Amino acid sequence: MTTITAEGLLLRPFEDGDATAFTSVVRESAQSVGEWMPWCHAEYTNKDALEWFAVCKQGLEAQIAYEFGIFSEDGSEFLGGAGLNQINRQHAICNLGYWVRSSMQRQQIASRCVRLLSQYAFETLALRRVEIVVAAGNHPSEGVARKAGAMLECVARNRLLIRGVSVPASVFSLVP
């Protein structure tokens, strides 16, 4: 099992025992995170969490996604989620996504995760490019990308689909 402990954080794959904490944090964060990530809503259930964990496990086994729970360094507090996904081995690129529970936002947790996961992508997975794609108007996530040293390359039209609506998105990149 891949575990990353650094910068005061513990990143590890989700376990079924995390479902209750995950569900609680998702519900807590429905107002802020849910605006940009429709899966995050006030009616989220433990069943939803377990289904997501199964998808994460399949992605990890197939080596096409590395999704992590973000925890306090001692593992006692669930802080959010982050992952490397949409991995394209032919071109050695991936997407990096992140979210942090509402009560812990603005504490540089996401920026630290971007640094840790991009390092993992370059050093462990031998990738050559990490993209962070942020929906237009999601200023907090744009700020995270910039703080982590990602370069804004373009605003891509119809790049993301949010609640059935195509929206433009800023495409940031990190390279080794």
3-state secondary structure the chain: CCCEEECCEEEECCCHHHHHHHHHHHHHCCCCCCCCCCCCCCCCCHHHHHHHHHHHHHHHHCCCCEEEEEEECCCCCEEEEEEEEEEECCCCEEEEEEEECHHHCCCCHHHHHHHHHHHHHHHCCCCCEEEEEEECCCHHHHHHHHHCCCEEEEEEEEEEEECCEEEEEEEEEECC
What does the pLDDT read at residue 173? 98
In angstroms, what CA-CA distances link 170 with 23, 81, 96, 137, 160? 29, 20, 13, 9, 10
What does the pLDDT read at residue 31? 87
What does the pLDDT read at residue 103? 80
Q: Go through the domains of the chain in sequence order and give each one's CATH number.
A: 4-126 (3.40.630.30)
Per-residue pLDDT of the chain (176 residues; tens, 9 = 90+): 589 988 899 999 999 999 999 999 999 998 888 888 888 899 999 999 999 999 999 999 999 999 999 999 988 899 999 999 999 999 999 999 999 987 877 878 999 999 999 999 999 999 999 999 999 999 999 999 999 999 999 999 999 999 899 999 999 999 99
CA distance 141 to 129: 19
What does the pLDDT read at residue 1? 55
CA distance 28 to 85: 25
**Residue 55 tokens, joined:** 């998808």
In angstroms, what CA-CA distances link 89 with 32, 56, 95, 126? 33, 18, 12, 9
